[in-house]
Amino acid sequence: MTQQDDGSGVARYLVLFEEDAADEGSRAMTNVAGIRAVHSGEIAAQTGDGLAQVPGGVLWPDLGVAVVTAATDQINALRGALSTRGPIAMIEREQLVYAISTPASQPMPASSEEAAFTWGLRAINAPASTATGAGVRVAVLDTGIDLDHPDFAGREIVSRSFVEGEDVDDGHGHGTHVIGTACGSRTPDIGPGYGVAYESEIYAGKVLNNAGAGTDGGILAGIAWAVQNGCAVVSMSLGAPVQPGQPHSVTFERAARRAMNRGTLIIAAAGNESARSDGVIAPVSHPANCPTIMAVGAIDPRHKVADFSCGTLPDSGAVDLVAPGVDVHSSWPMPDRHNTISGTSMATPHVAGVAALDAQAYQGTTWELWARLSQTAERLPLPSTDVGAGLVQAP
């Protein structure tokens, strides 16, 4: 879903620049359309990404992308410049994105094994791994985190909100849950251990508001922040539905590739729009449908594809891996402390956590990290269009 204009033809757009042409592209926007994008480094590190306060927009040089507020005539002028060989590569309308989760079904009774570790941790072989994620920075872009949660006491947490008017505190719950799965505790005072990379450094970026909604601009701001802070992994349990055959965002694809080249792997939820029991398989959601963003589908405790999990369709994005995403137990804002929910949102942080374990255990490029995650996955007796390379496995 795209952002609506304010009735005067003014709306938000993503402007992609050619490689190493961000400064030149920013000058071209000013000269051609009178749009001035402020360099992200000029915006103080405070609550909000600054987009609402900046008349033109914000430029993230590491990604080569600007998010601008512009009138129709300004955008038409910029589009006219696309016909010449110049620094501006693409202009796209900004989309709205949402947290991707569903209520749990009917959780199965806990077994003796479940008393120690969740079924998700056991399915990905995390308890047997000697890796802990120590020294690896993991950015989770979501609805924020409950910084006072007792299960995160003593952990290294860096947080920032990219949502105007809201601090990083999680008023929704989704963010605290996915951060718990990726980076949470193995030895909580109450309940089973649930965190994959339980000694990793947590970078909690709030890009979705307390209602679970956000924008492309907020996501890009969070990705740029993660890259600037040297995060090896970005986990994004969010997205927007797309139609079969709808092309992926060129802007997000280029941004993801540039992030990869700077040492940051982006992992995102494939989406929950399928209804497989009714014969409906929906395409992988935005932005997970980008080739250079690792798209994660969900399986249930029987290692079957979750009914809601999106799949690979012709001329659409592909599922790369699957992970536990049904009846997943993890942290939740106090006073509830823990919750059990389902979704490809819950599968995604399992993969992000394993990526952090791999990053700690092995040296190599981010591209090699992607390859290792795929090559070490457990092959499942299911179509690759549903599960990609298979079920992610801890090193």
Domain residue limits, the chain = 11-94, 98-387
Taking only the tens place, the pLDDT of each residue in 168-199 is 999 999 999 999 999 999 999 999 999 999 99
CATH 3.30.70 fits 11-94, yes or no: yes
pLDDT score at 46: 42
pLDDT score at 84: 74
Instruction: Quote the tokens at residue 343.
Output: 């979704």
> Do 350 and 120 meet the contact criterion of CB atoms below 8 Å apart?
yes
Q: Considering only CA atoms, which of 375, 138, 97, 71 is closest in space to residue 242?
A: 97
- Bridge partners (DSSP) of residue 240 are 286
Of 149, 174, 248, 350, which is the active-site residue?
Answer: 174
- Bridge partners (DSSP) of residue 341 are 103, 328
Q: What pLDDT band is residue 366 in, cutting at 50, 70 and 90?
A: very high
Of 62, 142, 151, 307, which is the active-site residue?
Answer: 142
Q: Which of 2-16, 238-252, 315-329, 348-362 has the lowest mean pLDDT?
A: 2-16
Of 161, 274, 331, 345, which is the active-site residue?
Answer: 345
pLDDT score at 231: 98
- Catalytic annotation on 345? yes
User: Does residue 45 have a pLDDT over 50?
Assistant: no
What are the backbone angles phi and psi of residue 88, rounded to the nearest 5°? -90, 120
Rounded to an integer, the average pLDDT of 73-102 is 89
3.30.70.260, 3.90.1150.10, 3.40.50.200, 3.40.50.2000: which CATH number matches 98-387? 3.40.50.200
User: Does residue 107 have a pLDDT over 80?
Assistant: no
- Catalytic annotation on 330? no
Provide the phi-psi class of 32: left if phi over 0, else alpha when psi is between -120 and 50, else beta: alpha
Q: Considering only CA atoms, which of 251, 214, 262 is closest in space to residue 236?
A: 214
Give the angle 7-9-14 at the CA atoms, nearest 5°: 120
Taking only the tens place, the pLDDT of each residue in 7-16 is 558 999 999 9
Rounded to an integer, the average pLDDT of 332-345 is 97
- Catalytic annotation on 172? no
pLDDT score at 56: 76
pLDDT score at 259: 98
Do strands 338-342 and 102-103 pair parallel, antiparallel, or not at all (unpaired)?
Answer: antiparallel
Mean pLDDT value across the chain: 92
